[in-house]
A and B are shown apart, each in its own frame.
Chain A
Amino acid sequence: MSSSPDKLVYMANQIGKFFQSQGHDRAVQGISEHIWKFWDPRMRKQIFAHLDAGGAGLEPDVRDALLKLKLQA
């Protein structure tokens, strides 16, 4: 878990797991809001870059949340 994209993917999925029980729509809202509120811009930039590169390893809710957040940015 040392290289950065892996760690960020892990962190994003961890956030995703918390919101999973709330259903897809609320989860996407919750995850994107959480990342917007708490992640430094360089971390968001890195995960967006990873998303653009295919977003390997991202859970579906998390991927949707990041796409939504990227559109807003």
Chain B
Amino acid sequence: MSLIQETDFGTPKSKSETMVTLTIDGNQITVPEGTSIMRAAMEAGTQIPKLCATDMVDAFGSCRLCLVEIEGRAGTPASCTTPVMPGLVVHTQSERLKKLRKGVMELYISDHPLDCLTCAANGDCELQDMAGAVGLRDVRYGYEGENHVFAKSHGCENDNWMPKDESNPYFTYDPSKCIVCSRCVRACEEVQGTFALTISGRGFDSRVSPGMNESFLGSECVSCGACVQACPTATLTEKSVIEIGQPEHSVVTTCAYCGVGCAFKAEMRGEEVVRMVPWKDGKANRGHSCVKGRFAWGYTTHRERILKPMIRERIEDPWQEVSWDEALNFAAAKFKGIQQKYGRDAVGGITSSRCTNEETYLVQKLIRAGFGNNNVDTCARVCHSPTGYGLSQTYGTSAGTQDFDSVEDTDVVLIIGANPASAHPVFASRLKKRLRQGAKLIVIDPRRTEMVESPHVKALHLPLMPGTNVAVLTALAHVIVTEGLADEAFVRERCDWSEFEDWAAFVAQDKHSPEATAIMTGVDPNDLREAARIYATGGNGAIYYGLGVTEHSQGSTTVIAIANLAMATGNIGRPGVGVNPLRGQNNVQGSCDMGSFPHELPGYRHIAGDAVREQFEAMWNVKLNNEPGLRIPNMFDAAIEGSFMGLYVQGEDILQSDPNTKHVVAALSAMECVIVHDLFLNETANYAHVFLPGSTFLEKDGTFTNAERRIQRVRKVMTPLNGYADWEVTIMLGKAMGFTMNYSHPSEIMDEIAALTPTFAGVSYAKLDELGSVQWPCNEKAPEGTPVMHIGGFVRGKGKFILTEYIATDERTGPRYPLLLTTGRILSQYNVGAQTRRTENVVWHAEDRLEIHPHDAEQRGVRDGDWVRLTSRAGETTLRAEITDRVAPGVVYTTFHHPDTQANVITTDFSDWATNCPEYKVTAVQISPSNGPSDWQKAYDEQARNSRRIAPVVEAAE
């Protein structure tokens, strides 16, 4: 193993299909039109010296190191800013060029510290490399003159010198080492799209400045790391590199945070991670990252990780650390006892959207084949289950239609109930880049999100009342149909025409018009009409949506309404268009694909289908139950009733993430054996009897499937601290229960998945190693996978239009609960926060805050930062208020990253009609001033502290 060195071509790749041939250093080279001479030379293997150029950003031409000579042209043009032309004859090395370059380097080095041996970039410094490349041997100017290097010069304070900025927890800015190449500034603009950095001053006074000479932490910086990656010197350096030193080998793996699925190089020293660097060949992220994947991996070695199995008879008891055998036998005996006493269907399990495909597959196999029932579900139940239902009804497949690259061909972006800038930041950066190039943006969201407020982006924002998605989408359809904007040719060719006619007649009714629905939705009818016209006629229209669509009592209806809109306007089946669910967790797509739903075997095939079930029965050598099992909310209800008594939960904190916490507490307390398999003593573990230590994504092999159906490898870079990868633990648990599963490596599990699942038939670890990643369906018809689905026709045959009647949720505001609470995420934290709260990311978000409009706050005497009591019909909690007009009057908003807030004490158990996906996004609440934590919070905290006790191990006496 060695350190993966990615070639920096200096300038971005040209997309042109016109080819140009030129001669560089006597060699003929053919490259696409628009390529720079620098890149053309590099493609031919000649590295022209450079400092300000890097292929993640556009050419800038400031360092004057990459000069070349071109026959017939005067002077020495910069090769980064000079495009290739047919027949050019270029020389990259000559006496004149050597002299010029040496002179440039000499000037750079005359204002740069010479502490190379002790510098953090030693071994990874482009300035040092270039000094070597141009043969710099002497700096004639000395260091006595004006400089940015020394704190004092000639015994006085040096006003040009600036101290290090160490405010960001993950990287340091050392201005004394800066060569003002502006790569960081351009990375922040072009790659990330935040525009947090600038160059202040002119000439010798030029400095990199976060915001208006603020600290990095105090500026708009979102800590994505693009600037650190772009920096050619030690000016911007990861603190982990400063502390540990340069890595010696690296392994390509996949981030375990959100559904974007960024590919990273885990840069290692032995088994210690030095840093995570986004991989340029990663097809989801194209070399970019966010603060979570790039920096927030410290949880993997956090001292709170539980590394030994633990058991207890009652949840009131302290935990006993025991051997793996003892824990597994204890768990197996409990589960078998429950099945004997209450019946075979009295146990079940929950697969994890954070674990690998292979691990998820094994858990559902253990439940279906080992437990002998179909009581398996996954946290997609509480996020994207309506996507699965809605898209399979309309299009015939339960997944998004595009790849992320598709956004580069999009002309109109319609975002509904999603905030990619916070929840899918790397995709958001790619999207914003397209928007800055001129694509139009429509955002349907109760809040003025970060997407609406992005720099250099103009959004048409439709701020709707929470819970009225279907009314708004049907109104958009009304405008499209009644104004004759539908793509009739597309619909006639690809969809069922009579169903379309029914649908068109339905949406055309006056009651669905923007004017008639405005009273419920709160959306300005003129804005809504404009949005419909732009989406239908503005070129390639792509819909991106998130949990603001699915987590409603009409979640599935909304997904169907979205699918209808895309079909009616012909926005399906080619690059640049489509319906794209933005998945919350790294492997939500995969966990659904792998048969985690109680009614479906892997590949979304109903358990009642004899032919499919018999294939699994033959492979697993066991008879399977042909009835659907319980979904998560049904499990809770059945537990309270006394018919469901044992639950195996892998990598999922249902107590914190599921709605109506009190109901979940009652259900978990009613069960006789809860097995939690996790990294930490999470909230669910407070009610568990067995704790099996989990492993992190750095400690195992496997695959994740991201929101674009892309299957990517997860590669082990260190030994599991707990001793076993999660797939091994599931096998051991099965064995203890008498169910044998034989696999020596996750690749064998993938081979079994491929053998049983038509859409995965062509997937193997060998293929993933060869291609980097594939998007399912990957089989004989599409051996390299399928970037865009439904080309030429829908998977189900004809696209199906389904009527979408708006039905208001039963969660209503009234005199006692006059405000609507909706929930969401913040950039620096992830889901229930179990990982990110155990990293330095807490500097950005140490607690959940309640966003409230100034008008509502003033009526209740609430000031910014005050503690407020938040009460719903389900429960109450307290948190601090943040007064902002991002939310409309009547709407309040919070995040759910912190267990002490317990936002889900408030949420109700209303749920989606089709899938029981909880209605997190609408809760009627009241708020009032408060002095601090509620009685519930205090009692919960006490129970949690009590429940987390671990009994001291008593050494046997001699």
Contacts and interface: CB of A to CB of B under 8 A. Distances in A.
B506 A21 contact: yes
B805 A20 contact: yes
B845 interface: no
A21 B553 CA distance: 17
A32 to B, nearest CB: 14
**Secondary structure type dominating chain A contacts:** helix
Contact of B628 (A14, A21, A22, A38): A38
Nearest to B913: A14
Nearest to A10: B810
B598 A40 contact: yes
Interface in A21-68: 21-22, 34, 37-43
Nearest to A12: B913
B803 A40 contact: no
Contact of A40 (B629, B641, B807): B629
Given A18-B805, A21-B803, A40 B628 contact: yes
A69 interface: no
A71 interface: no
A43 B641 CA distance: 12
Interface residues of A, number: 20
A21 B805 contact: yes
Interface in B338-396: 345, 375
B242 interface: no
A20 B629 CA distance: 27
B610 to A, nearest CB: 15
Nearest to B389: A38
Contacts of B886: none
A20 B804 CA distance: 10
A73 B909 CA distance: 29
B803 A22 contact: yes
B809 to A, nearest CB: 10
A40 B630 contact: yes
Contacts of B913: 11, 14-15, 17-18
Given A4-B637, A40-B598, A42-B643, A15 B803 contact: no
Q: Which of A7, A18, A20, A22 has the most CB of B within 10 A?
A: A18
Q: Which of B598, B608, B803, B915 has the most CB of A within 10 A?
A: B803
Nearest to A42: B643
Given A18-B913, A42-B643, A43-B634, A37 B805 contact: no
Contact of B914 (A18, A20, A22, A43): A18
A42 B553 CA distance: 23
B805 A40 contact: no
Contacts of A42: 345, 630, 638, 643
Given A1-B909, A21-B506, A21-B805, A39 B628 contact: yes
A22 B502 CA distance: 9
A21 B502 CA distance: 11
Nearest to A13: B913
A61 to B, nearest CB: 13
Interface in B389-429: none
B557 interface: yes
Contacts of A7: 637
Contacts of B286: none
Contact of A17 (B606, B634, B807, B915): B807
Given A34-B914, A39-B628, A18 B599 contact: no
A67 B500 CA distance: 31
A64 B402 CA distance: 41
A2 B375 CA distance: 21
B627 interface: yes
Interface in B588-635: 598-599, 606, 608, 627-631, 634
Contacts of A37: 599, 606, 608, 628
Contacts of A38: 599, 628, 631, 914-915
Nearest to A46: B641
B228 to A, nearest CB: 48
A4 B606 contact: no
A39 B557 CA distance: 19
A40 B553 contact: no
Contacts of B916: 11
B914 A40 contact: no
Contacts of A20: 805
Nearest to B557: A18
Nearest to B640: A2
Nearest to A26: B803
A1 B553 CA distance: 15
Contact of A41 (B553, B627, B807): B627
A27 to B, nearest CB: 11
Nearest to A7: B637
A15 B634 contact: no
Contacts of A22: 803
Contacts of A4: 637, 641
A1 B556 CA distance: 22
Contacts of A40: 345, 375, 598, 627-631, 634, 638
Nearest to A8: B637
Contacts of B640: 2
Nearest to A40: B630
B917 to A, nearest CB: 12
B243 to A, nearest CB: 52
A40 B411 CA distance: 45
Nearest to B506: A21
Contacts of A15: 913-914
A2 to B, nearest CB: 8
B486 to A, nearest CB: 20
Contacts of A39: 628
A9 B345 CA distance: 23
A42 B630 CA distance: 9
Interface in B779-808: 803, 805, 807
A60 B913 CA distance: 17
Contacts of A11: 913, 916
Contacts of B557: 18
Contacts of B628: 37-41
B909 A14 contact: no
B554 to A, nearest CB: 8
Contacts of B643: 42
Interface string B908-943: 010001111000000000000000000000000000
A12 B23 CA distance: 74
Nearest to A16: B913
A42 to B, nearest CB: 6
A38 B630 CA distance: 9
A70 B87 CA distance: 80
A43 B630 CA distance: 9
Nearest to A44: B627
A22 B557 CA distance: 13
Contacts of B506: 21
Contacts of B663: 2
A40 B375 CA distance: 9
A73 to B, nearest CB: 11
A3 B914 CA distance: 20
Interface string B693-736: 00000000000000000000000000000000000000000000
A39 B916 CA distance: 11
Q: Which of A15, A39, A42, A43 has the most CB of B within 10 A?
A: A42
B376 to A, nearest CB: 11
A15 B557 CA distance: 11
Contacts of B375: 40
A4 B667 CA distance: 13
A17 B902 CA distance: 32
B103 to A, nearest CB: 75
Interface string B636-674: 011011010000000000000000000100000000000
Q: Pick the 3 closest A-B CB pairs, nearest first.
A: A14-B913, A21-B805, A21-B803
Given A18-B556, A37-B599, 11 more contacts: A1-B909, A14-B913, A18-B557, A21-B803, A38-B599, A38-B628, A38-B914, A40-B598, A40-B629, A40-B638, A42-B638
13 contacts: A1-B909, A14-B913, A15-B913, A18-B913, A21-B803, A37-B606, A37-B608, A38-B628, A38-B914, A40-B627, A41-B627, A42-B345, A42-B630
